[in-house]
Amino acid sequence: MLPASIQITGELLSSAEVQDICESLKDDGVHLLSIRGCQLSDRDFGQVCRSVAASTSLAQLNLNLGVVSSISRTRHLAEALKTNRSLQTLFLHGSPLQDAGLVTLNPALSTHPALVCLDLGDCMLGDEALALICGMLPPDGAKSGLRELTLSANPGISSKGWARISIAVAHSSQLRVLNLDYNPLGDQIASMLAVAVASSRTLEVLDLEGTGLTNQSAQVFLDMVENYPTSLRVLILVENDISPELQQQIGDLLSEGEDDDDREAPPQLRGSVFSSALRPIRDKYHPPAWLPHSNSGPQMVMLTSGLGESLLAETEM
């Protein structure tokens, strides 16, 4: 019997329901467990974590939207991750981890043998946490690391922290998708990221939606894709003060690179970047309605590969 998916959103889970989930996990009957936004007692959460530790079939775990709501729950999750060996994707978007929580999780996250996709968006992280995350993006020749990383909406990270992550991205031997949407980056940090993207041999998707960019940083990205070889296939620039013309130019150039790669790739690889198991649903951060956005012109999402289309199609709004 093939492992099943359990997906529950925003419900109050009874102890009986939690018991059913745990039994399925222990019987290796679950491939994907999502309890995003659900309420359950601390005792039941600990029971779920112990069952996650025992599971050898679980590949995706979604605890988004406040399920990991305290440092005690963070410790339970860390203990589970130390034992579990099957998990590939972990979603913690919207969890109030702060730096202390990431410090607690880091030993388990950084040594997990299978983890390749991590969502830490809107987790109230700062520079201390980001320094630990850089260790999950090892350089060429080192251990395997993350292929997809989400750090959306963590405004506590400073320019120094973003500089560190830019260096890590430039030298990562694995990272393919980086989501930094709704961070107050600005043009200076975006320019650092452009250098990192130009240096990276693996990064294919970069999400900079709502990051305070202007035509200045867009011009840097345009120069990069126009004059230098890059692995980048998708650049998301909506909700920034960037002209539609610049967005179109960048998108056209990325599309040309995609066409060239498809011609060079074997037929069975064309339009395929990596397994759909690495492109699960993620919670997309949306700012409060009162936050100002640019209204200078039409907004565009640049989708230039099958990977990008799949990522956006599977994003929960």
Give the model confidence (pLDDT) of 227-259 as tens digits: 999 999 999 999 999 999 999 999 999 988 665
3-state secondary structure 5-45: EEECCCCECCHHHHHHHHHHHHCCCEEEEECCCCECCHHHH
Residue 18 lies in a domain: no
Q: Distance (Å, rounded) from C-alpha 155 to C-alpha 182?
A: 8
Confidence (pLDDT) at 289: 39
- Domain with 237 in it: 88-313
Measured between alpha carbons, how far is 106 from 146 in angstroms, rounded to an integer? 13
Q: Give 53-103 pLDDT, tens digit per residue.
A: 999 999 999 999 999 999 999 999 999 999 999 999 999 999 999 999 999
- What's the pLDDT at 139? 87
Residue 277 lies in a domain: yes
- Structural domain count, the chain: 1
Q: Given this model, what pLDDT does residue 283 score?
A: 67
Q: Which residue has the tokens 């745990």?
A: 22
Answer yes or no: is 41 within a domain.
Answer: no
CATH code for position 101? 3.80.10.10
User: Which pLDDT belongs to residue 48?
Assistant: 98
For residue 133, being part of any structural domain is answered with yes
The answer to whether position 309 is within a domain reads: yes
168 part of a folded domain: yes
pLDDT of 174 reads 92
300 lies in some domain: yes
Which regions of the chain are under pLDDT 50? 263-280, 288-317
